[in-house]
Structure 1
């Protein structure tokens, strides 16, 4: 089983601890994405798996073998870096086959492997070119080819698309996912881009301040964030978060804020909780536009309409709190400039404790 297991992994630089005892198990052939803000410890964790950073404490196993003291070259992993790390004086074929030449593999085997990999990556016509003669996307494919040709047990990706423009990033995301499905190799991918995480991952690991906040499938994390941090990090735009206080409503608990209120789901944790400070979370996709006052309508001011073609983002102000609504433009264009507020179904509203940030909401079913 070519899985990866991290048990109580710690990384410290002297007295400064940057990764705080994380536990993670990556199954064979799984594509796991580590995501989080800069400085959260995701790249450090990846480098410990690769053997480029020493593990301060804990156990790391690859394919069931303890590798804490195993040299990087003997871990049977291949890493794709952010800056490509290609040899400028070698052509594409030589760059792809470099690792095999270092291992003193026969030239016939190297040539066959380079040909196979270049065909998979669409690099056949560029084999005689040097990196300086390639586009950013082509260079990244060469870097991936150099990793693939080794047939490792685990692929490691360290923000490989951050140097590409938006269109190329979209294309390369699709290529990486197709390659993973075709090769069936365990993959661990680091990014700060939550769109990459949502589109690539079988499971996402959200990290913050050297700790794992939540692990789950993209839709599990999107629909059921464990805390306000995960809710605000995943999603584009992220979940709206409103500071409020629990009060009794005519039909159950409500959240009061700025002289207004919104009905909340009937959760056990909200019963007999009048006066409790909470954070109300509403996804932009789940807020329904309203053009006037009415029952259940939360009034807010329209600041800006971003028209994106088939949909639009409405940037609203709820007192001092920004609020974004994502809505379809078809059939709504005439109403967008007159939006005065929103409604939201109670079962799609999330509630977080204001002090701890932990979710109080029940689980939204993932279809």
Structure 2
């Protein structure tokens, strides 16, 4: 395929990850800390030489275990967590640095810099000093800097993780523009970012791919415990039955048909807003262990089960810590899978 094909093997870090990114596609790479995401980015950018596999861009091998194209000749655009702008240069000079470094004239470089700034809505910042910019403004300038170099591949390494909510929205809009028309790999811990930007998702754990697919498939019906947590689902350990899961604290969650054989260890996952919470004045239900405000809702924790309800609903129930309640979840909202999620080759 045209675009990016990568098989990254770094034995010292126990990483063996294969992925593909189409010529006009954004692929999100997600996983827990230490899973190998940064290693993949480092190999693609030319900062680490792999022990095996290969990185191929539009049919051209950039690296394998015997050779490596220098970083400055790869046409890789990298936007990291921090913009790291040159403090002594103006915004436009920062953005023009990339084109100048590959041989553009000063006039050409500044023209490309202004075009890139305009593309991300940052042209009015052109004559500003980096020290006068907000976090969101500085990150948009960093995106423009990557664009001005006309990258063949764009690497986005947690590009909004250091920003507040308002700035994240502005930067995401700039990232949509930046990613258009080129293969883009997005490393993120933000499920909203995945849904806003990614065409596909690759999940890595312990240096291996454990899930891949569209955002809707991976986040809606996850195959790994991490993907379930990432998407905001509650994961409940237990043992599979033919009709769902018996939880370790003795409860039961029914599920639509699943593939885990009865008797095996299993995880049941559901979104806490799908849970049905009722009061139980007979004292035979679950004890309310915690009540927490959460994203405009109220989270009720009762043993291993969790329910998120509106403040109005919570007030109507009159629940407090120590009271008893019942939490049930519709069977078609419950996903059951084995704890390790399985590994996906290639």
TM over 0.5: yes
User: Shorter-chain-normalised TM-score: which range?
Assistant: 0.7 to 0.9
Structure 2 residue aligned with 1:43, among 38, 41, 47?
A: 38
Q: CA RMSD in A?
A: 2.7
Instruction: Verify: 1:224 aligned to 2:218, yes or no.
Output: no
Q: Give the superposition deviation at 1:241.
A: 2.4
Pick from 55, 63, 82: which aligns with 2:58?
Answer: 63
1:153 is aligned to 2:152: yes
Is the 1:2–1:154 Cα contact (8 Å) retained in structure 2? Answer: no
How far, CA to CA, are the matches of 2:188 and 2:295 in structure 1?
Answer: 25
- Paired residue secondary structure (2:13): strand
Where in structure 1 are there 5+ consecutive unaligned residues?
360-367
Q: Distance in 1 between matches of 2:27 and 2:172?
A: 14
2:275 is equivalent to residue 287 of structure 1: yes
Partner residue of 1:126? Answer: 125
Q: CA 1:147–1:263 in 2, change beyond 3 Å: closer, same or farther?
A: closer
* C-alpha distance in 1 between matches for 2:32 and 2:194: 13
Residue 197 of structure 2 corresponds to residue 200 of structure 1: yes
Kindly state the Cα deviation for residue 34 of structure 1 after the two structures are TM-superposed: 1.2
Residue 299 (str. 1) matches residue 277 (str. 2): no
- Provide the residue aligned with 1:6 in structure 2: 6
The equivalent of 2:104 in structure 1 is 105
Question: Which residue of 25, 28, 31 corresponds with 2:26?
Answer: 31
Shift of 1:194: 3.7
2:49 match: 54
> Unpaired runs of 5+ in structure 2?
none
Count of aligned residue pairs for this structure pair: 335
Q: Distance in 2 between matches of 1:110 and 1:357?
A: 49
Q: CA deviation at 1:26?
A: 0.8
Q: Look up the match of 1:235.
A: 231
Kept in 1, the 8 Å contact 2:34–2:206? The answer is yes
Answering whether residue 329 of structure 2 is matched by residue 344 of structure 1, we say yes
Farther off after superposition, 239-248 or 283-292: 239-248
Aligned to 1:327: 309
Distance 1:124 1:170, change over 3 A: closer
Contact 2:244 2:336 in 1 (8 A): no
Alpha-carbon offset, residue 178 of structure 1: 4.1
TM norm structure 2:
0.86
Deviations 1:21-52 (A, max 9, x none): x2111111111111122211111101111111
Deviation at 1:122, TM superposition (A): 2.5
Distance 1:108-1:351 versus aligned 2 partners, 3 A rule: same
